[in-house]
Amino acid sequence: MIEVKNIHKSFGDAHILKGISAVFEKGKTSLIIGQSGSGKTVFIKTLLGLFQPEEGDICYDGINYRSMSTDQRRDLRKQIGMVFQGSALFDSATVAENVMFPLKMFTEQPLSEMLDRVNSVLKRVDLVNANDKYPAELSGGMQKRVAIARAIVMNPKYLFCDEPNSGLDPRTAILIDNLIQEITDEYNITTVINTHDMNSVMEIGEKIVFLRNGLKEWDGTNNEIFITENKAVTDFVYSSELFKKVRKAYLLEREGKI
């Protein structure tokens, strides 16, 4: 479980995060949503320790990140898997080398064991016969799968994804969402996803945190988001005509009018 308390983060005069608090539970997929510029990426990077907050606390399973020693922080990082928006695969390394990198860095396993583990996670993300390919030879969806494989190869306790299905076609995006959801259930990990994809919200949003102008405007589940009266949320989530109709139909059905 990750508990965030009153996080503030500024860059120069720009106050980006203005006191956000949230809880991300173990075994659940939590989504952070919000418009571009709402502070989602800064928030997730602050959770990861890439940015240091000026104020507030982040607790990983009850242990405050601020009070951790350097060794504890290093150990924590080994338990974190991250899928970046652009996949962030190492260009000069093959798929297998990319996935194997954390194992080589942090374990003393023999090469054969590492290869077995790499093949097993690549199979888990439905990516076979791609071990010797370079990232530039893969499609966007395949790159995301490799990034997920690299993120889970060390059996992480926490999985973070920054817009995992941006730039993907709707079908591939849903496959990636489902894959993340399955992995979260299977490994019982705490998953936090940064997205503004409404399909993801409807498909896998067990918990949703809506950010607006650096503040938490709303949180709830993907069922609650249908009935919320929060105007900022409804304006954001139901900005398309299609979703407006879906919501209207849902509310009418809920009231027994259809």
Partner 1 sequence: MNYIEHIGKYFTMLGQVFKRPQKMRIFKEALFRELDDLGNKSLGISAFIAFFVGGVVAIQTALNVDNPMIPKYLIGFATKRSIILEFAPTFVSVILAGKVGSFITSSIGTMRVTEQIDALEVMGINSLNHLVLPKILATVFFYPFIISISMFLGILGGYVAGMLTGLFSTVDYIDGIQLEFNPYFVKYALIKTMVFAFVIATIPSYHGYYVKGGALEVGRASTQAVVWTSVVIIVLNYFLTQILLS
Residues that bind partner 1 (CB under 8 A): 45, 48-50, 73-78, 80, 82, 84-86, 88-91, 101-102, 104-106, 160
DSSP of 34-101 = --TTSSHHHHHHHHTTSS--SEEEEEETTEESTT--HHHHHHHHHTEEEE-TT----TTS-HHHHHHH
Closer to partner 1 by Cβ: residue 106 or 199: 106
Q: What is the b/e burial string over 37-76, where b = at least 16 CB atoms within 10 angstroms of the residue's CB?
A: ebbbbbbbbbbbbebebeebebbbeeeebeeeeeeeeeeb
Closer to partner 1 by Cβ: residue 152 or 198: 152
* Minimum distance of partner 1 from residue 226's CB (angstroms): 34
Closer to partner 1 by Cβ: residue 149 or 237: 149
* Minimum distance of partner 1 from residue 173's CB (angstroms): 20
Greatest Cα pair distance, the chain, in angstroms, is 64
Closer to partner 1 by Cβ: residue 14 or 105: 105
- Scan for tokens 């993300």, then name that residue: 125
Closer to partner 1 by Cβ: residue 70 or 129: 70
* Minimum distance of partner 1 from residue 132's CB (angstroms): 18
Query: Treating both helix axes as pointing N-terminal to C-terminal, what angle do 111-124 and 140-152 enclose, rounded to 10 degrees?
Result: 130
For residue 187, the tally of other CB atoms under 10 A from its CB is 15
Tokens representing 2 are 């990750």
CA atoms in the 13 A half-sphere facing the CB of 151: 32
* Minimum distance of partner 1 from residue 75's CB (angstroms): 8
Closer to partner 1 by Cβ: residue 33 or 159: 159
* Minimum distance of partner 1 from residue 156's CB (angstroms): 10
Tokens representing 104 are 């080589």
- Please tell me the total number of residues recorded for the chain in this structure: 258
* Minimum distance of partner 1 from residue 60's CB (angstroms): 13
Closer to partner 1 by Cβ: residue 106 or 235: 106
* Minimum distance of partner 1 from residue 192's CB (angstroms): 13
